């Protein structure tokens, strides 16, 4: 007769160890493969309208850089109503601003359809502005405030109307940034709102330059109209790109290990310095007007 312990063993109390197979060796991903796949996935996640704006902005920026090479080869004056400076600076400025605004407006609490429509119109307007300025530079005639011929008048008025469209579009974005607090990391709401507020100064100074120049042109002072914009150019340039730099700074600070309080202090200091520069440029414009 079997012993009880022997029966328990026989019925399943003890089993031979199960055979295990070693895990299959998984090849390590190639360096950069995962990052490249992530970048492609992120690009596919971008809306078609945003891709259009990014691509258009890149083309305009490259156009500005290309005309910098043209200036280096062809020479000529950098200042004045007829120079390669305008296609360079306007190409770079409009291209970078279009790319920046496409990103910055993603933090605004506005409807997707409204944002898409505004961005597409803004991109088209940027192309018209840079295209008209570049065309006139190659024709060796002034682009803005030029009423010498019917064609020049048409180009000049198109640029003026385009400037008005820019004012309306960017004002809508600016109002949206103040109606509802923008999203984003610490410091981003402050950066977006401050950038748009300073951008409004650029729009107002640009409108003032066009208005004064048109008045001088209509009263027969064509040459004076070309030089009438000089006092406001520093103010216009300084206040134009705060909406690009300040949000970029907030984005960089969000990637650091610094506390939220430290990030906010840096952002307030940056906004204060930029505002002081704008006030200085405004004072210079008033004194030299």
Question: What DSSP line would sit under 192-259, residue for residue?
Answer: HHHHHHHHHHHHHHHHHHHHHHHHHHHTT-HHHHHHTTGGGHHHHHHHHSHHHHHHHHHHHHHTSS--
Question: What DSSP line would sit under 260-284, residue for residue?
Answer: HHHHHHHHHHHHHHHHHHHHHHHHH
For 158-203, write each residue's pLDDT tens digit: 999 999 999 999 999 999 999 999 999 999 999 999 999 999 999 9
Tens of each residue's pLDDT in the chain, 289 residues: 455 544 444 444 555 555 555 554 545 555 555 545 655 655 566 789 999 999 999 999 999 999 999 999 998 889 888 999 999 999 999 999 999 999 999 999 999 999 999 999 999 999 999 999 999 999 999 998 888 899 999 999 999 999 999 999 999 999 999 999 999 999 999 999 999 999 999 999 988 998 888 888 888 888 888 888 888 999 999 999 999 999 999 999 999 999 999 999 999 999 999 999 999 999 999 998 8
Coil vs helix vs strand at 29: coil
Q: What pLDDT does 63 receive?
A: 98
Q: What pLDDT does 27 receive?
A: 52
Separate counts of helices (H) and strands (E) for the chain = 11, 0
Q: What pLDDT does 147 receive?
A: 87
Neighbours of 57 (CB within 10 A): 21
* R_g (Cα) of the chain, nearest Å: 29
Q: What pLDDT does 41 receive?
A: 58
Answer yes or no: are the C-beta atoms of 184 and 173 closer than 8 Å: no
């Amino acid at each position: 007769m079997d012993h009880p312990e022997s029966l328990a063993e026989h019925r399943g109390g003890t089993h031979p160890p199960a055979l295990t197979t070693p895990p299959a060796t998984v090849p390590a991903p190639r360096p950069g493969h995962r990052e490249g796949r992530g970048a492609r996935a992120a690009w596919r996640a971008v809306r078609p309208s945003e891709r259009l704006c990014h691509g258009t902005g890149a083309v305009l920026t490259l156009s500005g850089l290309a005309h910098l090479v043209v200036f280096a080869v062809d020479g000529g004056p950098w200042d004045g109503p007829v120079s390669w400076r305008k296609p360079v600076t306007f190409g770079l400025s409009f291209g970078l601003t279009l790319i920046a605004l496409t990103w910055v407006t993603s933090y605004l609490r506005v409807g997707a359809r409204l944002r898409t429509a505004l961005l597409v119109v803004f991109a088209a307007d940027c192309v018209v502005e840079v295209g008209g300025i570049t065309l006139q530079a190659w024709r060796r005639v002034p682009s803005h405030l030029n009423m010498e011929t019917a064609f020049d008048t048409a180009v000049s008025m198109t640029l003026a109307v385009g400037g008005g469209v820019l004012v309306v579009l960017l004002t809508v974005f600016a109002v949206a940034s103040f109606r509802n607090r923008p999203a984003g990391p610490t410091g981003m709401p402050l950066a977006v709102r401050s950038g748009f507020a300073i951008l409004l100064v650029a729009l107002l100074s640009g409108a003032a330059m066009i208005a004064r120049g048109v008045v001088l042109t209509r009263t027969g002072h064509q040459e004076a109209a070309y030089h009438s914009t000089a006092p406001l150019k520093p103010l216009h340039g300084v206040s134009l790109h705060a909406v690009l730099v300040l949000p970029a700074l907030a984005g960089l600070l969000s990637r650091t290990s610094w506390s939220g309080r430290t990030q906010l202090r840096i952002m307030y200091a940056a906004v204060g310095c930029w505002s002081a520069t704008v006030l200085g440029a405004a004072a210079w414009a008033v004194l030299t007007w």
